Amino acid sequence: MQAAAVIEEAPALGDLAGRVIGQYRMSYILIDTPSGLRLVDQHAAHERVLFDRYLERIERHEPASQALLTPMLFESGAAESAVLESHAEDLRAVGFDIERFSGNAFAIAAVPPELVRNDVQSFLRKLIDASIEERSPHVARVREKVCASLACQAAIKVHRPLGGDEMARLTAELLESSNPFACPHGRPIIVDIKHLDIERHFHRR
């Protein structure tokens, strides 16, 4: 009895180690926990995992890159290219091989391994837009912005089917992250439905 009471009173974090029982609408991982049913937003969860990974690479000065078969060009206006230039060092720190090509064009020869080629243009434009909306002189804040934007673009999308091993691995990585409850943008990752509430709904309590 005492052991059961400890499980009930323990922080919900430990329940992430519960049994993965499936995927809801190809967007949420379902976990059977001691206290009920847990839904994990697969996109937000992967965002958190990737965000921590990118920050760690910057702090350890250990960028990870995947070379593109053919370099790609990214072109923008003068103001936008100035913003991108200001982020160049941090982009290289997370794995980009990016250099100004000519005028307002940048040549990209390598990207972080989690980012596919088709998402590079979208990521850079989102990063520029976010930087223009919220200018910050603090280095740490700028790095967090780069990592958050990259994590969002590279993360597993909703409506994507996942295998059992993929779901188990993602929830295990989430448990080890800096904040399993919220993505870098503040959106919730986890929703819990207590077993007692389920029982009451079916008039079993």
pTM: 0.85
Q: Rounded distance, CA 14 to CA 182, Å?
A: 16
Q: Which two tokens stand for residue 122?
A: 């979208």
- Over residues 53-79, the pLDDT tens digits come to 999 999 999 999 999 999 999 999 999
pLDDT value of residue 43: 98
Give how far the C-alpha of residue 178 lies from the chain's centroid of Cα atoms, to the nearest Å.
12
Q: 157: Cβ–Cβ under 8 A, 6 or more apart, which residues?
A: 43
pLDDT at 136 exceeding the cut of 70: no
Q: Tell me if 136 sits within 8 A of 145, measured CB to CB.
A: yes
